């Protein structure tokens, strides 16, 4: 994972709050969410059209004259695809989409043939175009956006949004003060349980405290302990007393508070859609959103403190003011 020098703002906000100590970091709540990338919803038709546009743009930049540009054919196929979503037009949709795919492959092959030998600086760009034009429905590591090839398709089990296109981000916060003490963008569609160890290491680097319990949901199942940290989740994996069961249930209920925190990050601190490019942009946006959340919390605490001193000074000024006895 690339080390982006944006860890400093988040570490500064954690220190600036000055409300946590080793006892506060003993129990932390951890959860992951999807940070969606600023791309259009990926379909085969749109990817083929984008591939054709990229090939023509490269040809114009290199001064290459293509054998055929298929301008009128592409315009006609686009018009046919526009009204082909009805069930009775499904066969025509598939037939037209295959024609568009063949045209995209012909333009790509023509460009690569005339550009031979290919410059090394353009190799990665042509590799992305080739993967777009040759990928199949059931392939893994598919390309969903030409300008953002690192975008992943992540299914989080939401009924209203089965698939989200972006990257997975992990957050850790304290129970009492609600300070975010860890935030990181995960490369790849990693299983949640495998993201817990690097997340806890980041929290230790920020706070220098010992984490005794990490409270997670069922998506982290698999490991009961990471180093000296106990992983607490709703499902009991061993026999326990009634008292221990109630304690575990109370901790798991408190973990649900991180869902509201993630909602605030998305709607108040620009985590809902990421406009920064690449995996470095994913990391930067995640860390800055967490830093902004902590900074807003710090500003609210400082505002309360300042208002308290103002009202106390005003009350003391009134109570200690001299009384005018001449009018009595």
For residues 61 and 18, state if they share a domain. Answer: no
For residues 174 and 291, state if they share a domain. Answer: yes
How does residue 75 score in pLDDT terms, banded at 50, 70 and 90? very high
| Strand partners of residue 185 | 169
For residues 95 and 186, state if they share a domain. Answer: no
CA-to-CA dists, residue 143 to 71, 175, 274, 281, 312, angstroms? 25, 39, 18, 18, 62
293-320 pLDDT, tens digit per residue, is 999 988 888 888 888 888 888 888 877 6
pLDDT at 291: 92
In whole angstroms, give the CA distance from residue 311 to residue 91. 75
For residues 22 and 52, state if they share a domain. Answer: no
Q: Per the domain annotation, does 325 fall within a domain?
A: no
For the chain, what is the mean pLDDT? 87
Phi and psi at residue 53, to the nearest 5°:
-60, -40
Would you mind telling me the total number of residues written for the chain in this entry? 328
Q: Who's near 85: CB < 8 A, 6+ residues apart?
A: 93
| Coarse DSSP helix, strand, coil percentages of the chain, rounded to the nearest 5 percent | 55, 15, 35
Q: Per the domain annotation, does 75 fall within a domain?
A: yes
Phi and psi at residue 185, to the nearest 5°:
-95, 130
For residues 104 and 127, state if they share a domain. Answer: yes
Q: Per the domain annotation, does 233 fall within a domain?
A: yes
For residues 171 and 117, state if they share a domain. Answer: no
Question: What CATH number does residue 202 fall under?
Answer: 3.30.420
Q: Per the domain annotation, does 154 fall within a domain?
A: no
For residues 76 and 218, state if they share a domain. Answer: no
In whole angstroms, give the CA distance from residue 34 to residue 156. 8
Q: Which residue has the higher pLDDT, 285 or 9?
A: 285
Sequence-ordered strand ranges (E) for the chain? 27-37, 152-154, 164-174, 180-186, 213-215, 225-226, 229-232, 273-274
For residues 227 and 282, state if they share a domain. Answer: yes
Letter string b/e over residues 121-130, b meaning 16 or more CB atoms within 10 A of that residue's CB: eeeebbebbb
For residues 89 and 204, state if they share a domain. Answer: no
233-281 pLDDT, tens digit per residue, is 887 767 888 888 888 889 888 888 899 999 999 999 999 999 999 999 9
For residues 172 and 127, state if they share a domain. Answer: no
Q: Per the domain annotation, does 204 fall within a domain?
A: yes
In whole angstroms, give the CA distance from residue 229 to residue 182. 16
Last residue of one domain, picked from the residues 82, 111, 134: 134
% pLDDT > 70, the chain: 93
Looking at the 3D structure of the chain, how many domains does it have? 2
Peptide bond connecting 117 to the previous residue in cis, omega within 30 degrees of 0: yes
Q: Per the domain annotation, does 159 fall within a domain?
A: no
Q: Per the domain annotation, does 303 fall within a domain?
A: no
Q: Per the domain annotation, does 56 fall within a domain?
A: yes
CA-to-CA dists, residue 217 to 195, 228, 231, 258, 294, angstroms? 13, 19, 10, 11, 23
Q: Which two tokens stand for residue 286?
A: 């995640």
| Strand partners of residue 167 | 35
In whole angstroms, give the CA distance from residue 4 to residue 128. 25
**Burial (Cβ within 10 Å: 0-12, 13-18, ≥19) of residue 318:** exposed
List the domain range (segments joined by +) for residue 244. Answer: 7-35+167-297
pLDDT at 18: 60
For residues 97 and 56, state if they share a domain. Answer: yes
Q: Which residue has the higher pLDDT, 129 or 7?
A: 129
Is pLDDT at 1 greater than 50 in this prediction? Answer: no
102-137 pLDDT, tens digit per residue, is 999 999 999 999 988 888 888 999 999 999 999 998
pLDDT at 227: 87
In whole angstroms, give the CA distance from residue 150 to residue 141. 9
pLDDT at 321: 58
CA-to-CA dists, residue 240 to 232, 248, 301, angstroms? 13, 10, 40
For residues 255 and 180, state if they share a domain. Answer: yes
């Amino acid at each position: 994972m690339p080390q982006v020098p944006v860890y400093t703002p988040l570490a500064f906000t954690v220190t600036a709050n000055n409300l946590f100590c080793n006892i506060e970091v003993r129990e932390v709540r951890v959860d992951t969410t999807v940070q969606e990338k600023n791309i259009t919803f990926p379909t085969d038709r749109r990817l083929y059209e984008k591939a054709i546009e990229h090939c023509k743009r490269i040809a114009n930049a290199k001064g290459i004259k293509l054998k055929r540009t298929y301008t009128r054919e592409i315009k006609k196929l686009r018009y046919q695809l526009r009204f082909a979503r009805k069930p009775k037009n499904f066969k025509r949709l598939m037939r037209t989409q295959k024609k568009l795919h063949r045209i995209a492959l012909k333009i790509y092959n023509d460009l690569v043939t005339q550009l031979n030998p290919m410059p090394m600086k353009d190799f990665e760009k042509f590799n992305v175009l080739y993967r777009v034009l040759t990928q199949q429905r059931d392939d893994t590591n598919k390309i969903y956006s030409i300008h953002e090839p690192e975008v992943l398709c992540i299914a989080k089990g939401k009924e209203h949004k089965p698939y989200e296109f972006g990257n997975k981000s992990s957050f850790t916060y304290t129970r009492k003060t609600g300070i975010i003490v860890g935030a990181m963008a995960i490369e790849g569609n990693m299983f949640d349980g495998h993201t817990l160890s690097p997340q806890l290491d980041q929290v230790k680097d920020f706070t220098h405290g010992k984490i005794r319990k990490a409270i997670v949901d069922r998506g982290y199942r698999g490991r009961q302990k990471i180093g000296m940290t106990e992983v607490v989740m709703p499902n009991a994996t061993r026999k326990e007393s009634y008292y221990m069961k109630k304690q575990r249930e109370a901790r798991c209920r408190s973990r649900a508070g991180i869902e509201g925190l993630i909602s605030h990050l998305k709607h108040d601190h620009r985590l809902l859609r990421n406009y920064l490019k690449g995996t470095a942009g994913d990391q930067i946006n995640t860390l800055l959103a967490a830093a902004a959340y902590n900074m807003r919390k710090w500003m609210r605490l400082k505002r309360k403190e300042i208002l308290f001193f103002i009202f106390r000074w005003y009350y003391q000024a009134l109570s200690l003011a001299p009384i005018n006895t001449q009018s009595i």
